[in-house]
Amino acid sequence: MPVVKSPPSERLLADHALACDVVRDAGRLSLEYFGGDYEKWHKGDDTPVSEADLAVNDLLQKSLHEARPHYGWLSEETEDDQSRLGKERVWVVDPIDGTRAFIRGKPHFTICVALVTEGQVESGIVYNPALDEFYEAILGGGARLNGDAIKPSKTKEIEGCKMAAFGPLFQHPAWPTPWPEMKIVDRNSVAYRLALVASGAVDAAMALNTKNDWDLAAADIIVHEAGGKLTTHDGRRLIYNKTHTGHKSFLSSGPTLYQVLSERVAPVPLP
């Protein structure tokens, strides 16, 4: 028999509506900086950051915290004091995912907000304001792009598929067999890659290096509510709001292609 999903609660609907409104405000703010002259520098881990990242982060934190002061907070641009671990619900945020693209003037950055309860995402938004692409999903409520329902592709074969990933990954000599020819789609924002999987704009996305909660959480529910798959490269569920926020890998696609990709990448040992 088909699985019957429980409808979203009134509380969850209200939380999601709040987040959608705030993310749209953040998108408008980001475009005030995009393509302009603003401060930019590198953090201690040599990743880029700009005053736009911090301005968007401040807007999101102020608006969401004022409305839900009892929820926790985890953001790439806020020092993590781990007080979130004692909260029932936690906002997980990347104010600008794809800062490199943003700084270069490429319209491939996103604003990401997820609401996590007990390790599971129950609301997620990935917004590309430069292209006005608003991806969102709510647990039990499906996934949408600009209000229209989305589904992943039904591609079954690796050869010829559209893969959103770092191209040189597939040329590494450690692969036991060469990869078939694919169309590699380069997008700096990890969340954007996954949103493209959810909508069927690309067939798959993967990475075998560490990504954090804020890179993945918002897109996670969008992929799953669309009917796609997102796991670690070896098939484990991603769990959020743990002490350590890193995830060593991810693999995402529609259900049919996922099985073929999983057979190829699951055996790969990672440190």
CATH of the domain at 228: 3.40.190.80
191: enclosing H helix or E strand: helix 190-199
Query: What dihedral angle (degrees, nearest 10) is formed by the CA atoms of 145, 71, 15, 30?
Result: -40
Question: Would you state the pLDDT for residue 105?
Answer: 97
- Give the per-residue pLDDT at 6: 78
Q: 145 with 119: CB under 8 angstroms?
A: no
Quick one: pLDDT at residue 1?
A: 44
Q: Is residue 270 in a domain?
A: no
- Residue type (1 letter), 10: E
Domain of 109 in residue numbering reads as: 10-149
pLDDT for 2 equals 47
Domain identity same for 103 and 178: no
Chain centroid to Cα 245, Å, comes to 14
What is 59-98 written as a DSSP string? HHHHHHHHH-TTSEEEETTS---SGGGG-SEEEEEEEEE-
Both tokens of residue 89? 């619900």
Query: Are residues 29 and 102 located together in one domain of the fold?
Result: yes
Residues 123 and 14 in one domain: yes
Which residue, 149, 176, 200, sits at the end of a domain?
149
* Residue whose entry in the numeric block shows the structure tokens 């590198």: 42
Whether residues 132 and 226 fall in one domain:
no
pLDDT in tens, the chain (271 residues): 444 567 899 999 999 999 999 999 999 999 999 999 999 999 988 899 999 999 999 999 999 999 999 999 999 999 999 999 999 999 999 999 999 999 999 999 999 999 999 999 999 999 999 999 999 999 999 999 999 999 999 999 999 999 999 999 999 888 989 999 999 999 999 999 999 999 999 999 999 999 999 999 999 999 999 999 999 999 999 999 999 999 999 999 999 999 999 999 999 998 8
Q: Indicate which CATH number applies to the domain containing 88.
A: 3.30.540.10
Residues 40 and 115 in one domain: yes
Structure token digits, residue 270: 């990672």
Q: What pLDDT shows up at residue 4?
A: 55
* C-alpha dist (Å) from residue 58 to 75, 112, 149: 10, 14, 31
Tell whether 212 and 132 lie within a shared domain: no
- 187 and 63 co-located in one domain: no
